[in-house]
Structure 1
Amino acid sequence: MTIDAAPHPHPIYFAGAFATGGLLTFMVHLNGELARYGNPLFSSWTAHGTGMVAAVILLLLVHRRGRPKPEQTLRAPLWAYLGGLSGAATVMLTSTTVNSPLGLSGTLALGLAGQVVFSVAADSWGLFGLQKRHPDTRDITALGLVVAGAALIILFGRGAA
């Protein structure tokens, strides 16, 4: 995809991506453990309840700093509020699949492949107000490698049936 970006991104971006990937793996593992001892719905409620408590604390801290002026506030599009539904479904589905023969690595591989496929589609169709960017050979090659890697993990990994 053609984008106007710096040719050599700062290493902090790579470190941030690596750290959030590790946190995602840890979160999926913890949600799977909660589902194993309870059920996927309990896992989702626990994860989102914890997030809600953290959000309320953050809002209380921000509220003390003062409110922005009305002309400075921006309204989120309506589709932005659907993230909670997809988040709850994601937690329940990953909690279920982690405890199946697919395992943690298969679950994360499928999740990564789905995110990459959807990202390329969203860029090429201009979804969510993004500028349309048509995938080039490099993007298609990367997409193929991610999907092939996910297939290798699932079909030939230790958890393969």
Structure 2
Amino acid sequence: MDTKRLDSPLALAAGAMLAWMIHCNSQLAAHSGPLQASWLAHGLGALTALALWRATSSRERPAATSRPPRWAYLGGLPGALTVALAAIAVNSPLALAGTLALAIAGQLLFGLLCERFGLLAARRALTIHDALAALLVLGGCAVLIFAVQEPI
């Protein structure tokens, strides 16, 4: 089976699931608090990941060739902070669309910095196409954020 055909539908499904997760988490945060909602979301996510891993892992596991670098274990900290801040932002006048726009803008800028300075990937010079794409994405994010001020 050609897995390239699944890339776009899986990306769209992941985006829809992210929006749904933020909505559910913000509803929970409105009734309990952002920290409690973040703990519950991460706890359920960890249990789900464990169940999926157990269900799909083979009995014969290959031996690990090397340990991951220590900084790789820090991935959960920004994730937990993102969930908590998303719960706070969604319950503000910014709402869900503005929260997702800020997340996209932050990921885009961080990705450009990583590519430019070779932080997490190979160092690469940015091109005019990168700048144009970034301006278009950031412009769309700005429209979403500032359109919140006036109801549609």
TM-score of the two chains, using structure 2 as the length reference: 0.87
Q: Which residue of 2 aligns with 1:127?
A: 119
List runs of 5+ in structure 1 lacking aligned partners: 1-9
Q: Which residue of 2 aligns with 1:104?
A: 96
CA distance in 2, matches of 1:153, 1:28: 17
Quickly say closer, same or farther: Cα 1:61–1:135, change in 2 above 3 A.
Answer: same
One-letter amino acid matched to 1:80 = A
Q: How does 1:23-34 map to 2 (within 5 A)?
A: 23-34=17-28
The reply to whether residue 12 of structure 1 matches residue 3 of structure 2 is no
Quickly say closer, same or farther: Cα 1:64–1:35, change in 2 above 3 A.
Answer: same
CA distance in 2, matches of 1:142, 1:109: 15
Alignment check: 8 A CA contact 1:101 1:159 kept: no
Cα deviation for residue 116 of structure 1 reads 0.7
Question: Secondary structure of the equivalent of 2:123?
Answer: coil
CA RMSD of aligned residues (A): 2.1
Q: Which residue of 2 aligns with 1:147?
A: 138
Q: Which moved more, 1:107-116 or 1:144-153?
A: 144-153
CA distance in 2, matches of 1:123, 1:112: 16
Where does structure 1 differ by over 6 angstroms across 4 or more consecutive aligned residues? none
CA distance in 1, matches of 2:49, 2:66: 19
Percent sequence identity over matched residues?
42
Q: Which moved more, 1:60-69 or 1:72-81?
A: 60-69
List runs of 5+ in structure 2 lacking aligned partners: none
Cα deviation for residue 148 of structure 1 reads 1.2
Q: How does 1:77-116 map to 2 (within 5 A)?
A: 77-116=69-108
TM-score of the two chains, using structure 1 as the length reference: 0.83
One-letter amino acid matched to 1:127 = L
CA distance in 1, matches of 2:22, 2:150: 17
Cα deviation for residue 59 of structure 1 reads 4.3
Alignment check: 8 A CA contact 1:103 1:159 kept: no
CA distance in 2, matches of 1:135, 1:64: 42
Q: Which residue of 1 aligns with 2:41?
A: 47
One-letter amino acid matched to 1:26 = W
